[in-house]
Structure 1
Amino acid sequence: MLYYTNRKGQHMHAGYMHAVMLEFIKRYNGTLNILRFKDHLSIGHIAEEMLATKRIDFVCHPKEPKWNISGTVPLYILKDYILVPHAQPIASYWYFAQPFTRETWLALIAIVAYGIIMFYVSSGSERSEFGVHLLSSWCHLLFLPQPRVSFINWQQSVIHFILILGGFVLTNMYISVLKSMLTSGLFEPQANTLEDLIHAPYRLITDKYYAVYFKNATSVPDEVIDNAFVVPTDELDFNRANLNTSFMYIVYEDRMDGLLYQQHLLKAPRFKRMPESIMDGLMSIPVASSLPYLNMLNIYLSRIFEYGIFHKMKNDAYMSAIDSGLYKLMRNEDDGLIPYDLNFYFFPIVLWGIGLTCAGLSFLLELLRWRMA
C-alpha cells in the first residue's frame, strides 16, 4: 500500500491492495481503519498479535510464509525475483564488425574459392596467376573497379555474373543487418541465470526484513548471498524506486511490475527481471481467525481476480504511484537524432590503415623485385 502527500498537502493512500479492500468495504457498508508501520520487521509480529486479539480484521499485505495466522483463499503464486541492471551497450566502433557472423565468413570464403577455382579451370591453356583470380573475385564481391576483363569463353561470362550476383546479395545483407543493429542497439552479454550473477559487477542490497529470506534461498549461489549487504529501508526504497543501476534488488512480482512500469517508454530498459524466482509464496490476505464474513471476502477476491478487475486495479495503482510522484515515467535523454562521432568510424579507419600499409609493403616488395631483376 502506498502512502504519500498530494499537491494540496493531504495525506493519501493508494496501492492495489488498498483499492481491493476499500472496494470490498464500500460494497458491504464497512469501515476502514488504517494502521501504518514503517518498520517491516515489526509488521508480522504486530499483525499476528492484533489479528489474534481481533483488534483488526485483515492486513493489506500479502501473507508471508512464516506468519502463523489465517488467510483468505490463495489467488495465485506470488514469486520473488531479483532485478538486475540491463547490460550496457557495446562500443560504437564494434558495430561494423558485428554483422560478420560465422555464416557470413563461410559465404565469403565459399564465393571467393568458387571464383578462383572456376577462373583457373575455365582459362584452359591460358591460365594466369593465382593472385589475379583472387583479386578479381574480391573486386566482384566488394564492387571495386578492376582492369578491363576479357572473356576467353562463355563460361567465364557466367562466372563473372555469379560473382557479381553473390557480391550484391552479401553486400546488401551486410548493410541491412548493420542498419538493424544501429536501430535496435547492441549490448554486452546479459545475465540470464542466477549462476550468471556470480560474475555480475553489481552488489545486491536489501533490508533486514528480506535479508532473512534471502539468506535461506537455496536456489541462489552462495557467492551472490555473500556479496549482498543490508541497508536501511528508506535508502533501499529510494534506490529501488529510482531504478538506480548501481545495485541489484529483491522484490515481489507485484511491486516489481510497478517499478518496471517506469521504463516501458525507454528504448533500452534499465533493469531486467531474472527468470528464476528465489522464493515462492501464496497471494493470500491475512485475516483474523473465525472472521464472520470470510466466505464473502473469498468470493469477492476470487471473482475480481477471475474477471480481470484485480489486474485492472494493479495497473491503476501503478498510474497512481506515477501521479503521486513516488514513481516517474522515464524517457530517453536524447530523443533526437545523434550524429555518429569519430569513435563510430574507428574500426573502418583501422582497416583502411591496415590496407594502406599492406598496399605500401606490396609496392615496396614489387619495386625491390624489379630492381633485383
Structure 2
Amino acid sequence: MRLLQSTLKIGAAGATIFGIGWAILTFGGNAEVKSADADIISFDFAPKTNTQKFQDSLDELGMEKARYYDWNGNKMAFSTMVTDDEPLVVLHEFQEKFREKGLNDRIYSGKSNAVDLRGRDVSELTPEEREAQMKHLEELYVKHSNFFAGGMVPNVVTRDYVTMHGMDSKGGAETGLDFIKEVRERGSSRLTDSVGAARTIEIFRESGRTRVAATWTDDEVDFSKFRNASNAAEVGGSSKVPACMGCERLMRFKGETEEGYASNLFHSDSQTKADVVRFYRESMARRGWMLTPATKAMMAAEQVKLKQKSDVEFLSFARGSEFVNVLVYTGSDGKTVAKVMEAP
C-alpha cells in the first residue's frame, strides 16, 4: 500500500509536468542565431549537464541544428527531423541514444504490463495479477524518478504518435520523491517553480513519413515567465511595433535576433476592439508602416456590404520588405485581445 501511495504521488506530479502546455510552433527558419549564442562550450574535464547530453544525443541522431527563441524571457530551443522510420522505431533509436549518453538509466519502450482494473476490486486479483501489478508500479516509480532526474521517458505511445518528456529540478533531485520534497521545502504550491530545465519530444506520422520535433529550455528556465502577464507600458513594444495602450502583454515569442519572426499577445479590459484598431492604424502610420492593398480592399468591401464584417479585425502593414499582421478580437472572458506578428 505504501508503494502504491508513493507511486500515485509521483504519477500525479509527473502527469502535471507532462501536461505543461508547450506552444510548439514550427517556423520557416526565419530566425537566425549567432553561432556564438547557439553553441554550448564544454571542456573535457567538466561533467556535462543533462541539457548538453540531450543536445549531443539529438546531434548524433541526425536532428537539424537547433533554432533558438525567446519566450517571455526564457531561452527555448527547437529542432526537427523527418524520417521514413515508423514512430515506434524512432522511439527505440532515441531511447538507445539517451541511455548511451547517460541521460536515461535504461531503455523505455512505453509498453505496460498493468492489470486492467476497470470494474474490478483489488481484492479480486489473482496472485499472478497482483505480482504483475506490483511489478508495473515498481517500473512506473523508476520511470517517473528517471523523468524527474533528467531522463527522457515516454508518456504517450501509439503506432502513429509518441511523446517523451524529461526535466531537471532546480535542486538536483535524483528521484520523484526527492522532487516532491524539494517542492515542499520551496514552499510553493506550483510544481513548476522547482523545475530548472525541461525537455519534450513529439514523434508523429505525417503524409507517409515520420516527423520528430524536439523542444527544450536552457538550464535556468523560469516558468513564472510563461504564465505572468506584464504591463505593456513597462515592457514596451519591439523595435518595429508599439505595444497597445492600456494592454497587458501575455506572451512574447521571438527569434534571438530582432530580424527574425516575433509574436506578441496582448489583452485589455479597458480598450475596445475599435480603440485598439485605431491605435495601431495611427501609431503604425507614424512609424512609416502602410496598410497593404489587400487590407484596404477588405475594409472597402465591408463598408459597401460586399463582405460580411468579421468578429476578428485583421490589419496587415508593410514597410519595405517587412510585414506586420495585427489581429484584434474579443476573448471568451470579454477582454479585447491583440495578436501582433512580425515577419522579415
TM-score range, shorter chain: under 0.3
Structure with greater strand percent: 2
> Structure 2 length as normaliser, TM-score?
0.18
> Structure 1 length as normaliser, TM-score?
0.17
Structure with greater helix percent: 1
Q: Please say which structure displays the higher CA radius of gyration.
A: 1
Task: Tell me: higher relative CO, structure 1 or 2? Use CA pairs within 8 A at least 6 residues apart.
Answer: 1
